[in-house]
């Protein structure tokens, strides 16, 4: 009888020791084995890369790629040193599920990239780039959304194992990431310093979230100084308050925990509908508008009332404030939202608002989310200053974005809908939406009523010598023009499809999109 212990295919204890060796190497990449780095991170008030990862993904769902990689510096450092101090070569990559409890495993599948600042300041080395390329390729092949934490200092000059001539520009990660961002949903999250290549990755993403303690720039202090542009501290370069004001950052979070929660909620809009929802009393919408059409009001109050409770996330609030952009749910159904804010420029769509809205319309189309537009605008912002900012280019971009839409749009005119600006808010024409309705307070026209009266009846007004007589005539003409352009007259002329009870807005939107 053959002794199994001598059989050539018997695993034996030797293979167990090999498994233990692998497990020991894997353990060196985890926080428990890196207490000094972890303590330093926590002393800064920040979380580790693996703590962010654990908070983002569903427990037990993460499959890691390239965990045993180390920096390409074996010629100058011992392997033990590299395993201890450059685990995973500074970037954690893999596949996971996010929000599977809400949407199921298949809809929750995602790729994840977490740059690790505790490893060589999160810089991008040789194997770091190979890992990026690999996970990007897998995400593209499997059509997966990607969440990336971008903190890091850009390129790494110290990888001496790779001996090549030239300028070390033979890197495909950036164009591959950009290609993925053009194709699939991507969310970037940043905390801390994000410079050079890391900033380029951040800027490509569809949705860009950063904490208040973020500094994002296409060059760090050393590169700026090396270019002869002066000396700056890292915290002078692209602080969050600057980068949120110019639309580099879409959402500013208090900390990494809030940023991660926002990333999960935003990803959820692309993952499907939810069954459990609540909403405010819709009858309050009947009295929310001021009785005097000249008075301003808080359109965000209207948005929060129409949307499911806690479902509204506003994007890029600090930039282009005349138009509000964001995501909402109505009866659990996700959609994008546009709304004019009459408290900013009277709701006139300026160049910044045009650029922001064009980008958001394109994003909703890419994500396959229908759009709800709440219109209250006197039109595009005009004048010499607006033209200096490139009005003809940026405002025309809204029509191009609308023309490219494949998702349905519903437009609800809350009050003013004048000129090309109102048409742009509806996707380019009041006939582009699958349904264009107005509240009873709605009014339409080729331009703002006051301006139309002054321009169209200039001679009559100038002929009235007495100021009080002129004002009375102006008000009379204004009222006559309002009567012609009010919502019921617009509906009678089939310019819009219906005038609706404000309390029925949610129902109307859902029926139109059904």
CATH of the domain at 247: 3.90.226.10
* Angstrom distances, CA of residue 311 to CA of 72, 206, 256, 304: 45, 19, 20, 8
Tell me the C-alpha distance between 67 and 30, whole Å: 10
Domain ranges, residue 93: 26-269
Residues 148, 150, 154, 156, Cα dihedral to 10°: -70
Q: Are residues 132 and 207 in the same domain?
A: yes
What are the distances in angstroms from CA 500 to CA 198, 291, 301? 49, 18, 19
pLDDT at 167: 45
Structure-token match 């005009």, residue found: 382
Q: What distance in Å separates the CA atoms of residue 337 and residue 365, rounded to the nearest whole number?
A: 12
pLDDT of 285: 98
Q: Do 244 and 288 fall into the same domain?
A: no
Looking at the domain assignment, is residue 479 inside a domain?
no
Q: Would 145 be classed as within a structural domain? A: yes
Report the alpha-carbon distance of residue 348 to residue 353 in Å, rounded. Answer: 9
- What would the DSSP string read from start to end of 27-50? HTTSGGG-HHHHHHHHHTT---HH
Residue 90 and residue 225 in one domain: yes
Are residues 322 and 190 located together in one domain of the fold? no
Same domain, 154 and 291: no
End-to-end Cα distance, the chain:
74
Among 240, 269, 298, which residue terminates a domain? 269
pTM to 2 decimal places: 0.91
User: Of 269, 299, 328, which closes a domain?
Assistant: 269
Residues 289, 144 within the same domain: no
What is the mean pLDDT for each group of 10 consecutive residues in the chain (514 residues)? 52 74 89 93 96 98 94 86 87 98 96 95 89 97 98 83 60 93 97 95 98 95 88 93 97 98 98 96 96 92 98 97 98 98 95 97 97 96 90 95 97 96 96 97 81 70 79 75 80 94 98 95
Burial class (CB in 10 A: 0-12, 13-18, 19+), 49: buried
363 and 490, same domain (yes or no): yes
Overall number of domains in the chain: 2
Cβ atoms of residues 216 and 249 within 8 Å: yes
Question: 241 in helix, strand or coil?
Answer: helix
b or e along 70-108 (b: 16 or more beta carbons within 10 Å of the residue's beta carbon)?
Answer: bbbbeeebeeeebbbbbbbbbbbbbbbbbbbebbeeebb
Partner residues linked to 327 by β-bridges: 313, 336
Q: Is residue 4 part of a domain?
A: no
The answer on 289 and 213 residing in a single domain is no
User: How many Å separate Cα 282 from the centre of its chain?
Assistant: 28
Give the gyration radius of the chain's Cα atoms: 28
Host H or E run for residue 176: helix 173-183
| Residue in 300, 277, 281, 297 with CA at minimum distance from that of residue 289 | 297
CA–CA separation, 251 and 248 (whole Å): 9
Residue 467 within any structural domain of the chain: no
The verdict on 225 and 287 lying in the same domain is: no
Q: Both 373 and 245 in a single domain?
A: no
Same domain, 54 and 202: yes
Assess if residue 472 is contained within a domain: no
In this predicted structure, what is the pLDDT of residue 494?
93
Q: How long a stretch of residues is the chain?
A: 514
Domain end among 215, 240, 269? 269
Same domain, residue pair 358 and 222: no
Q: How far apart are CA 422 and CA 100, in angstroms?
A: 40
If phi over 0 gives left and psi between -120 and 50 gives alpha, with beta otherwise, what is residue 364? Answer: alpha
The reply to whether 317 falls in a domain is: yes
């Amino acid at each position: 009888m053959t002794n199994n212990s001598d059989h050539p295919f018997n695993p034996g204890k030797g293979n167990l020791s090999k498994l233990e060796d692998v497990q020991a190497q894997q353990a060196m990449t985890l926080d428990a084995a890196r207490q000094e780095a972890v303590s330093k991170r926590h002393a800064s008030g920040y979380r580790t890369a693996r703590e962010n990862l654990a908070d983002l993904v569903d427990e037990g769902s993460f499959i890691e790629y390239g965990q045993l990689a180390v920096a390409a510096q074996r010629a100058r450092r011992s392997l033990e040193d590299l395993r201890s101090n450059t685990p995973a070569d500074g970037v954690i990559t893999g596949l996971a599920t996010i929000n599977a409890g809400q949407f199921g495993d298949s809809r929750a599948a995602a790729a994840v990239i977490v740059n690790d600042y505790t490893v060589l300041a999160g810089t991008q080395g040789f194997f770091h780039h190979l890992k990026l390329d690999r996970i990007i390729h897998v995400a593209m092949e499997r059509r997966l959304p990607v969440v990336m934490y971008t903190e890091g200092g850009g390129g790494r000059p110290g990888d001496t194992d790779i001996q090549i001539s030239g300028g070390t520009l033979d890197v495909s990660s950036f164009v591959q990431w950009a290609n993925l961002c053009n194709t699939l949903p991507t969310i970037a999250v940043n905390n801390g310093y994000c410079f050079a290549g890391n900033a380029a990755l951040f800027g490509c993403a569809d949705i860009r979230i950063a904490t208040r303690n973020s500094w994002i720039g296409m060059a760090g202090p050393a590169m700026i100084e090396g270019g002869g542009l002066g000396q700056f501290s890292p915290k002078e370069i692209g602080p969050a308050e600057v980068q949120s004001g110019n639309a580099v950052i879409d959402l500013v979070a208090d900390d990494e925990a809030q940023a991660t929660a926002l990333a999960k909620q935003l990803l959820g809009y692309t993952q499907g509908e939810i069954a459990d929802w609540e909403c405010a009393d819709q009858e309050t919408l009947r009295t929310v508008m001021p009785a005097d059409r000249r008075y301003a009001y808080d359109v965000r109050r209207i948005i929060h009332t129409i949307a499911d409770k806690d479902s509204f996330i506003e994007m890029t609030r600090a930039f282009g404030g005349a138009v509000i952009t964001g995501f909402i749910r109505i009866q659990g159904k996700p959609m994008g939202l546009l709304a004019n804010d009459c408290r900013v420029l009277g709701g006139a769509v300026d160049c910044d608002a045009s650029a922001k809205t064009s980008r958001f319309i394109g994003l909703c189309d890419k994500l396959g989310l229908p759009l709800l537009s709440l219109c209250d605008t006197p039109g595009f912002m005009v004048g010499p200053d607006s033209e200096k900012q490139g009005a003809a280019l940026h405002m025309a971009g809204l029509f191009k974005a609308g023309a490219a839409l494949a998702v349905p749009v519903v437009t609800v005119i809350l009050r003013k809908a004048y000129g090309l600006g109102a048409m742009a808010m509806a996707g380019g024409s009041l006939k582009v939406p699958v349904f264009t309705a107005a509240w009873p307070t709605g009014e339409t026209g080729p331009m703002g009523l006051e301006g139309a009266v002054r321009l169209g009846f200039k001679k009559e007004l100038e002929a009235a010598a007495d100021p009080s007589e002129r004002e009375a005539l102006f008000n009379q003409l204004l009222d006559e023009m309002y009567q012609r352009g009010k919502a019921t007259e617009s509906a009678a002329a089939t310019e819009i499809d219906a005038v609706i009870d404000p309390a029925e807005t949610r129902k109307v939107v859902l029926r139109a999109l059904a």
